[in-house]
Amino acid sequence: MRKPKVWGEACPNPDCASYRLLNCGNVSAISTYLTQSGKRRIFRCKDCESTFSETRDTVFFDLRTSEEKVIMALKMLLVTVGLSDIGFVLGVTEETVLRWLEGVAQKAHEINAHLLRDRPVTEVQLDEMWRFIRRKHAQQAEADGESTDMSEDGRQWVWISFAPQYRLILATFVGPRTVASAWQLMQLTAAVVLGVPCFFSDGFSGYLSARIEVYQTLKTFAPTGKRGRPRKPIKAPHPELVYGQIVKKKRRGRLQEVGYRVRCGCERFEELGLSMSTSLIQRLNLTLRHALAPLVRKSQSFCKDRTYMRRRVTFLQAFYNFARPHMSLRLPLPDQQPHASGLIPPTWQQRTPGMAAGLTDHVWTFRELLTVKFEPIHNQSGSG
């Protein structure tokens, strides 16, 4: 008996009982239509009788431009090519590229929300990269030149949390160098990791209070029996929280001294036997500056709006975690018999940070990054 083909599509109708459920046998192909990129299928849901296209819920949905041109533009965004240069090469306007960036940023946010959750991580490195939006000094700036929490221009920093054991970017945020931005990064990181990892960062003073706000316990005081109001409970660091800082002292741009200090969790830090370092996330900063044009130093390709900067960083995070093999994560392949044709067999299995963390089992193609579809989170397992 002939079995129905599994198309890997889900019904996009919110009123359908099989809404966004994959491989349920309710979707069948009924026709095709021609586009600039070739034939595309039209599907029908047997439960609600609604029809939808193959590109629904992907970056290519409702686009008149060929998919190859869209992919080329998005790839150029990841190799330090400016918007005006992309428009000149591909013959499109900057506004068109920004609309494509908005779609791919939404898809990248969906990927991060479905796959980056409940990760067992031992160590997390934190850092922030300086950049400016629209102008170097915000219209509402502090005395030291830093932007305030309400400012969306001027000095805006790219905040990153990084798991060195997997080379995985856990969370990103773009905002001023304030305690509120540090708290936002900690909130995003806590939603991804499982338990309380060890944190290492630079000497920014706002990290400690942000960690205590996220990883805290209420310390209560017993009644003393004396007159007066009882002492109110205070917030204390979580018993398992470990936080270390690497403080670098520079003079005239040259490094003079490096200091190490454990701000909380000294006993657990000694038990785990970890070494305090932020070298890997510092190397990641270089990768980001060589990938995104607005992060290049002494460049005219700066962003005019903070929203566009956040979209670029989110897009790069998904690409880095799932579609970009990392050399330090590759594994040697077993010895193979030489091919009769004389071809050199591969000696390494390339792996991405997502593969090292157990989030996926293969290196994603760029098209897969733009067209992947997920079921609702409550229907998924811990690995997505």
Predicted local confidence at residue 381, as pLDDT: 53
List helix spans (H) across 59-205.
Answer: 67-77, 83-90, 94-115, 179-190
- 231 or 174, which is more confident: 174
Q: How far apart are CA 145 and CA 354, in angstroms?
A: 38
CB-based contacts of 335, cutoff 8 Å, min separation 6: none
Q: Do 207 and 200 meet the contact criterion of CB atoms below 8 Å apart?
A: no
The predicted-structure confidence for 102-126, as pLDDT tens digits, reads as follows 999 999 999 999 999 988 999 999 9
pTM, 2 dp: 0.89
CB contact set of 90 (below 8 Å; sequence gap of 6+): 69, 72, 73
CA-CA distance, 376 to 378, in Å (whole number)? 6
| 341 Cβ contact list (under 8 Å, min separation 6) | none
Q: State the pLDDT at residue 379.
A: 61
Residue of higher predicted confidence among 317 and 262? 317
State yes or no: pLDDT of 84 exceeds 80. yes
The residue with greater pLDDT, 339 or 12, is 12
Would you give the DSSP letter of residue 139? S
Q: Which of 162, 189, 154 is nearest to 309 (CA)?
A: 154
% the chain with pLDDT above 70: 95
Report pLDDT for 2. 42
DSSP 236-251: EE-TT-EEEEEEEEEE
One-letter amino acid of 91: G
Report the C-alpha gap between 300 and 377 in whole angstroms: 41
Neighbours of 306 (CB within 10 A): 18
**In terms of C-beta density within 10 A (0-12 exposed, 13-18 middle, 19 or more buried), how is residue 243 classed?**
buried
Both tokens of residue 120?
């067992």
Q: Which amino acid is at 354?
A: G
187 within 8 A of 159, measured Cβ to Cβ: no
